[in-house]
């Protein structure tokens, strides 16, 4: 059975909005048309994707599975469209994603030396999109910080680095070269606790139920502003903390935190010689650090 990508896009819109009317508005189509397309998709797959009643719409287990699989499939289709359009326009580009604190200059220079006519671009990523840029074709390869969802990706480990806690300059622990996770038990973490499970397991605010809902803080710069204002602390890889040096925050090593792992990632379904050449370059450069 061939899967209609248009129907998949319609399904994802409904799954994300959990409301047929709002999904139809977002897609700029009539709601009856959207409903017919979803019923047709359910008929083709021979499953029910949504539980619907007058008050709500929710995903069935089959719907949850399709949503998980549909997103990377649609992203891959968009990546294909981008590459074909670039080829038709006579462009030969190669884009490298990288997380804050990671310096990719050496590998970029090596690639350019080997391919002077290649248009090499770099793309700064974040915790939220460091693998999305591969799936949707914005980047050919990406330097990622673990953990990430690895499905559909080729991965090669490059390096590890210590993690540090970033504190206000007037904090009681400021000036210490290193601290233990237990020293941070009473602190307010400005991150998802799952990102630092060692802290999560001993945190006072989690144990007592006093942790307040967190505003979404996406960038390193935003996190550091909150730290400097005395609203909490963050745990970052050492290279990120040192890259964003500022006088109103300090950092200290956390002795009993495991290191951050950096990998190079790419679309595992692609058979690109240029991607494989860059993987080799990145591995060589990381070994020579």
Q: Which pLDDT tens digits describe the chain residue by residue (289 residues)?
A: 677 889 999 999 999 999 999 999 999 999 999 999 999 999 999 999 999 887 889 999 999 999 988 887 888 788 778 777 777 766 788 999 999 899 999 999 999 999 998 999 999 998 888 998 998 888 999 999 998 989 889 999 999 999 999 999 999 999 999 999 999 999 999 998 988 999 999 999 999 999 987 777 778 999 999 999 999 999 999 999 999 889 999 999 999 999 999 999 999 988 889 999 999 999 999 876 6
Q: What is the pLDDT of residue 223?
A: 92
* Kind plus residue range of the DSSP H or E element containing 236: strand 234-237
Mean pLDDT, the chain, rounded, equals 91
Helices marked H in the chain — which ranges? 5-17, 20-27, 31-45, 61-88, 105-114, 132-135, 197-200, 204-207, 220-228, 238-243, 273-287
Domains of the chain by start residue, with CATH: 5-74 (1.10.10.10), 92-158+261-287 (3.40.190.10), 163-258 (3.40.190.10)
**DSSP code at position 229:** T
Q: How far apart are CA 143 and CA 210, in angstroms?
A: 36
Residue 214 burial (10 A CB sphere; 0-12, 13-18, 19+): middle
Q: How far apart are CA 68 and CA 50, in angstroms?
A: 14
Q: What is the pLDDT of residue 1?
A: 60
Q: What is the pLDDT of residue 213?
A: 79
Q: How far apart are CA 286 and CA 280, in angstroms?
A: 10
Q: What is the pLDDT of residue 276?
A: 95
């Amino acid at each position: 059975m061939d899967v209609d990508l248009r129907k998949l896009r319609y399904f994802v819109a409904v799954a994300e909005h959990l409301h047929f009317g709002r999904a139809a508005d977002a897609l700029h189509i009539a709601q009856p048309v959207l409903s017919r397309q979803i019923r047709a998709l359910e008929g083709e797959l021979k499953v029910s994707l949504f539980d619907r009643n007058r008050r709500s719409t929710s995903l069935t287990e089959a719907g949850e599975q399709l949503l998980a699989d549909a997103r990377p499939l649609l992203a891959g289709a968009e990546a294909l469209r981008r590459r074909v359009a670039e080829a038709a326009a006579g462009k030969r580009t190669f884009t490298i994603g990288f997380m804050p604190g990671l310096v990719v200059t050496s590998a970029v220079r090596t690639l350019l030396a080997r391919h002077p006519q290649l248009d090499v671009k770099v793309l700064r990523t974040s915790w939220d999109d460091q693998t999305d840029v591969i799936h949707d074709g914005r980047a050919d390869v990406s330097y990622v910080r673990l953990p990430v969802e690895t499905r559909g990706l080729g991965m090669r480990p490059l390096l590890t680095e210590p993690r540090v806690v970033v504190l206000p300059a007037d904090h009681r622990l400021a000036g210490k070269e290193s601290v233990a996770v237990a020293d941070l038990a009473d602190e307010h973490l400005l991150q998802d606790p799952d990102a630092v499970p060692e802290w999560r397991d001993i945190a006072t605010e989690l144990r007592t139920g006093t942790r307040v809902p967190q505003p979404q803080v996406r960038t390193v710069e935003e996190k550091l502003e909150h730290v400097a204002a005395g609203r909490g602390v963050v745990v970052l890889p050492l290279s990120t903390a040192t890259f964003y040096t500022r006088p109103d925050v300090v950092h200290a090593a956390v002795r009993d935190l495991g290191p951050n792992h950096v990998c190079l990632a790419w679309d595992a379904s692609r058979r690109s010689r240029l991607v494989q050449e860059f993987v080799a370059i990145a591995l060589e450069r990381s070994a020579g650090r």
